[in-house]
């Protein structure tokens, strides 16, 4: 996921959200005593973990982008406030 561009990451996030929602719907339709319930629960948990992993990567990227922007803005402000101190 790290090597994906933002559009690819967004597509993967959307697909993972749909997969998690579908797995949840399947799980909700099954009685807990059924033989397939445990398998459906595992599928739901796996889909949810994948979704949350992609969300985590997206948030980390957003944080990095915002940090870079803040650093750039601080440099601009410092240059405007004290042009003689900035080389």
Q: Is residue 40 part of a domain?
A: yes
Q: Is residue 66 part of a domain?
A: yes
- Total number of domains in the chain: 1
Which residues are CB-contacts of 80 (< 8 A; sequence separation ≥ 6)?
Answer: none
Note down the domain range covering 56.
6-81
Model pTM score = 0.75
Q: Is residue 1 part of a domain?
A: no
Handedness of CA 58, 61, 67, 70 (dihedral sign): negative
User: Is the pLDDT at 57 greater than 80, yes or no?
Assistant: yes
> Residue 4 — pLDDT band, cuts 50, 70, 90?
confident
Q: Is residue 59 part of a domain?
A: yes
């Amino acid at each position: 996921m790290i090597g994906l561009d933002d559009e690819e990451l967004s597509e993967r996030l959307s697909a993972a959200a749909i997969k998690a929602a579908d797995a949840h719907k399947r799980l909700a339709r099954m009685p807990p005593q059924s033989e397939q319930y445990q398998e459906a629960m595992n599928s739901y948990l796996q889909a949810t973990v994948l979704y949350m992993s992609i969300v985590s990567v997206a948030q980390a990227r957003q944080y990095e982008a915002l940090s870079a922007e803040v650093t750039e803005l601080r440099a601009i402000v410092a240059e405007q406030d004290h042009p003689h101190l900035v080389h």
